[in-house]
Amino acid sequence: MTVELQFLRFGASTPVGRSWVSTCAAVRAGLSRLTEHPFMFDAKGRPVIGAWATYLAPTLTHEQRLRALAEPALRELLRGVEIDDHTAVGLVLSVPPPRPGLPDDLTTTLIDVVAQGCLHAVPEFTDIRTVAIGNAGGLSALAVAEEIMRDGEVELCLVGGIDSWFDPVALEWLDQQGRLHGPQGPWGVLPGEAAAFALLGTTGLAQQLRAPVLASVAGLGLGQEAITIGRQEVCLGRGLTDAWRAALGPLSSDEQVTDIYLDRNAEPYRADEHGFSLVRCRDDFVDPSRFWTPVNAWGDAGAATGLLLAQLAVAAGLRGYARGPLAFVSTSSDTGQRAAAVLQLPT
């Protein structure tokens, strides 16, 4: 059984917008929320620079902050959605990987947050899965959703990603590795935070829910990079290339991707792997030198990154400023997981 994943609804909450529409508009306009952390300083006493949701109180605990990001994004996604009681709905959630500063029971907490936020639309999820690998998690969650929908376990699937680097312990951990962006490391990470959600279904369910199909997933690819960040060897992007080739494989010989969205940051490691992958796959792109990397807008959004990039691509198609009908999204995790997707945009 084959299944074509289709995006029916989106929701998001980011430093530059409190909805997916406003977030995409802000990125398109070149807006940025990069600013000093309200109370966190690096080892040399300089304020940590990142993209923070300044509409949230800095006194919130980490769990409260993630909840405050997730709840409005879920409300946006589910507004006006009426799901039949007999429809089997799955949940695949991209969550932060283990790192200093995260509670041990964070994944359980986030599942509860989503379940409570969906209670009026989805009384109970038929199947719940989590992916805890960071940046590549959102697109990897799409692959999990495709699998459980193909197997007939669910008819609809809610895919989400929630993450925040606001916590001082996590920022101190990045600083100890010399990875924070700033005067001490101009090529480092710009930490951020966000929540992003997508409702996936098929054409038949879209008609049943009276929801327009926003975009379709034309290809998905996963890969594993052996040379992870921090090692002495140069990363040649072989794991990323594997993911790209798998995602681009379903395209016909006369199709090329016009719009490219990467989670590339200022770290040389990331520039290396993207550079090598773009060269290897250059024939699949109209212009491999032109790509979007919105890290200056929302920072490193971690587990929410893949879905946010997908929302940017779809917004470009809906608003008419995409360069063509095919968009490409790519994400990389620190622990080596790579994920990519080709999206068929609305015309």
Q: Over the stretch 106-151, which tens digit does the pLDDT of each residue have?
A: 999 999 999 999 988 888 999 999 999 999 999 999 999 999 998 8
**CB proximity list for 108: less than 8 A, separation 6 or greater:** none
Look at residue 2 in the predicted model and tell me its pLDDT.
61
pLDDT for the residue numbered 333: 97
Look up the pTM and report it: 0.96
Q: What one-character DSSP code corresponds to residue 235?
A: P
- pLDDT tops 60 at residue 204: yes
Say yes or no to pLDDT of 317 above 90: yes
pLDDT digits (tens, 9 = 90+) for 88-99: 999 999 999 999
**Smallest Cα–Cα separation from 316: which of 340, 290, 334, 284?**
290
Neighbours of 30 (CB within 10 A): 9
pLDDT-derived band at 233 (thresholds 50, 70, 90) equals confident
pLDDT value for 223: 98
Number of H helices, E strands in the chain: 10, 11
**89 with 205: CB under 8 angstroms?**
no
Q: What is the pLDDT of residues 265-306, one digit of tens each?
A: 888 899 999 999 999 999 999 999 999 999 999 999 999 999
**What does the chain come to in residues?**
347
